[in-house]
Chain A
């Protein structure tokens, strides 16, 4: 039993060794002067090739998107459940059909709630 853990330990050692080596290799190569060190502004920019960056990464999003995200998750979960249900609908029969109707109803209650609380309006 414990011997089986040995293989995992071996994998762990190899993984750590590999990661450390690849991280240290460029530094080592530069240390022995195989890699030249000639920086210029374009070389040291964040994206050397591709789009020019505009502004900063700390952009603020309107917090109203938070409601949309919540609404989206509710629908998303519904869909995740609907797929396997739709595939197996014939086998599940009437009970499965009514069960899914009830489930959909509960999700719809959430939407009615959001609608009445004016979450869906952009003010």
Chain B
């Protein structure tokens, strides 16, 4: 048993327990932030040490330790660290349950790390539930009517999505007799074409699994929870949901569909086309409905539906390209990294501003450029990155993902995506216009803590770095995309 390969997860679990216990005995809650961050840093250290090694599997091939999983583990740990830093201002408002907040953030990060690594249907489900249950609680943390409603909605719809996913898994298991992804792939390749066509249950299982995972990544038509939950949840958790939960969903879809349903070619073309259609609908719906929104969190909710659409262009490319071609996977990983930094930056700025304003309405951001120039500048940079304009990371991310799609005959999808990018510029730039050209309602400055400023500057720095010198991260993504155990 190679337990040392499991060290990042073990560390994070241990630190989550320490945070829970520490919260019971200490009075100065500031230490909880330090301990949580220490846990994330130690886990990240173990992950970095493992990077670049050969791919291995532990626990009877249930858990893959390959560069793909390690890339996502690092991404989730970085996101968790930034979210913990960004929530320092926010959490200090709570009189109770600060320890629970940090422990749950760590535990859901643990769940996501497992999601990126699992290669077996049952452990996929367990990892997914570990993530989701922590997030259900975190969404309801404010205990006001909106937050409670969001939490309840997320819980109920999430439970339905889990049930659909389990049904899909049961069908796939029923027709292949295996739960391990590599063995499922072998069982499917052993079936002849007519064998697969004669068992529509297998195809139904695959479609139901797409529906179950589609809920996690907020793909249309499984997006109904997104606006309400994003609006009601505590803002740091909204950031966490929009970034980490989505990345975890994409990680698991990539692993399942690439390693279990990647071959034969006609099967991957089938689900590739399904993702392409979902991407086209998602982008269009997300962008069009985002235009009339007046609440910035709700607007970013619809924007994240649209971004999931762009990301699914990458999934479609993976389906359309031959298995050895890594362009689809590596551009998807790059997009996820840049989207994570961008959205975290945007939400961190929103946390600081709405802490002062006590409002999330876009019209109240009027004149923010004069009241808080640095926050407004950071938010502008992140919104520009979300549109996909240089020099921000979003431009390179979109460039990679669209050029990959064009290379594999998805020109029609890229045309739709580019039209959508133009539509999206309207509502992102409206916020920029209100901030810089509007008249400030008062002259008061917007205060922010050092931790929040650190998180914001780290994300903005990341956005700029990925936009200006993308080559290095792209190389990392290519290394991560090549490595699959099964």
Q: How many residue-residue contacts, CB under 8 A, span A and B?
A: 15
Docked CA distance A1–B198 (Å)? 7
User: Known: A95-B1, A109-B17. Contact between A116 and B24, CB under 8 A?
Assistant: yes
1/0 per residue B17-36: CB within 8 Å of A?
10011001000000000000
Nearest neighbor of B100 in chain A, beta-carbon distance? A113
Cβ of A86 < 8 Å from any Cβ of B? no
Q: B-side binding surface: helix, strand, loop or mixed?
A: helix
Q: How far is the CB of B142 from chain A (nearest CB, A)?
A: 20
Docked CA distance A59–B12 (Å)? 44
Docked CA distance A117–B20 (Å)? 12
For residue A95, which residues in chain B have a CB less than 8 angstroms away from its CB? 1
Cβ of A27 < 8 Å from any Cβ of B? no
Q: How far is the CB of A121 from chain B (nearest CB, A)?
A: 15
For residue B24, which residues in chain A have a CB less than 8 angstroms away from its CB? 112-113, 116-117
Docked CA distance A106–B24 (Å)? 15
Nearest neighbor of A113 in chain B, beta-carbon distance? B20
For residue A117, which residues in chain B have a CB less than 8 angstroms away from its CB? 24
Q: B20 contacts A1, CB within 8 Å?
A: no
Cβ of B199 < 8 Å from any Cβ of A? yes
Docked CA distance A113–B21 (Å)? 7
User: How many interface residues does B have (CB within 8 Å)?
Assistant: 7
| Docked complex: B462-486 residues within 8 A CB-CB of A | none
Q: How far is the CB of A91 from chain B (nearest CB, A)?
A: 14
1/0 per residue B376-407: CB within 8 Å of A?
00000000000000000000000000000000
For residue A2, which residues in chain B have a CB less than 8 angstroms away from its CB? 198
Q: B17 contacts A106, CB within 8 Å?
A: yes
1/0 per residue A83-123: CB within 8 Å of B?
00000000000010000000000100100110011000000
Docked CA distance A113–B97 (Å)? 12
Q: A1 contacts B17, CB within 8 Å?
A: no
Q: How far is the CB of B191 from chain A (nearest CB, A)?
A: 12
Q: How far is the CB of B9 from chain A (nearest CB, A)?
A: 13
User: Known: A109-B20, A109-B21, A112-B21. Contact between A1 and B199, CB under 8 A?
Assistant: yes
Docked CA distance A2–B199 (Å)? 9
Q: How far is the CB of A71 from chain B (nearest CB, A)?
A: 16
Docked CA distance A106–B1 (Å)? 21
Docked CA distance A95–B1 (Å)? 9
Q: How far is the CB of B4 from chain A (nearest CB, A)?
A: 14
Docked CA distance A106–B110 (Å)? 15
- Residue picked from B1, B20, B198, most chain A C-beta under 10 Å: B20
Q: How far is the CB of A57 from chain B (nearest CB, A)?
A: 26
Docked CA distance A96–B283 (Å)? 49
Docked CA distance A78–B177 (Å)? 29
| Docked complex: B137-163 residues within 8 A CB-CB of A | none
For residue A109, which residues in chain B have a CB less than 8 angstroms away from its CB? 17, 20-21
Docked CA distance A80–B21 (Å)? 25
For residue B198, which residues in chain A have a CB less than 8 angstroms away from its CB? 1-2
For residue B20, which residues in chain A have a CB less than 8 angstroms away from its CB? 109, 113
Nearest neighbor of A117 in chain B, beta-carbon distance? B24
1/0 per residue B217-237: CB within 8 Å of A?
000000000000000000000
Nearest neighbor of A116 in chain B, beta-carbon distance? B24
Q: How far is the CB of B196 from chain A (nearest CB, A)?
A: 11
Docked CA distance A81–B199 (Å)? 36
For residue A106, which residues in chain B have a CB less than 8 angstroms away from its CB? 17
Q: How far is the CB of B320 from chain A (nearest CB, A)?
A: 30
For residue A112, which residues in chain B have a CB less than 8 angstroms away from its CB? 21, 24
1/0 per residue B26-51: CB within 8 Å of A?
00000000000000000000000000
Nearest neighbor of B24 in chain A, beta-carbon distance? A116
Docked CA distance A116–B17 (Å)? 15
Q: How far is the CB of A60 from chain B (nearest CB, A)?
A: 21
1/0 per residue B301-343: CB within 8 Å of A?
0000000000000000000000000000000000000000000
Q: How far is the CB of A25 from chain B (nearest CB, A)?
A: 36
For residue B1, which residues in chain A have a CB less than 8 angstroms away from its CB? 95
Docked CA distance A111–B186 (Å)? 45
Nearest neighbor of A115 in chain B, beta-carbon distance? B24
For residue A113, which residues in chain B have a CB less than 8 angstroms away from its CB? 20-21, 24
For residue B21, which residues in chain A have a CB less than 8 angstroms away from its CB? 109, 112-113
For residue B199, which residues in chain A have a CB less than 8 angstroms away from its CB? 1
**A→B interface (CB under 8 Å):** 1-2, 95, 106, 109, 112-113, 116-117
Could you jot down 7 A-B contacts, CB within 8 Å? A1-B198, A109-B17, A109-B20, A109-B21, A112-B21, A112-B24, A113-B24
Q: Given contact pairs A109-B17, A109-B20, A112-B21, enumerate 12 new A-B contacts (beta carbons under 8 Å).
A: A1-B198, A1-B199, A2-B198, A95-B1, A106-B17, A109-B21, A112-B24, A113-B20, A113-B21, A113-B24, A116-B24, A117-B24
Listed from nearest, the 4 A-B pairs whose CB atoms lie closest are A116-B24, A1-B198, A109-B17, A113-B20
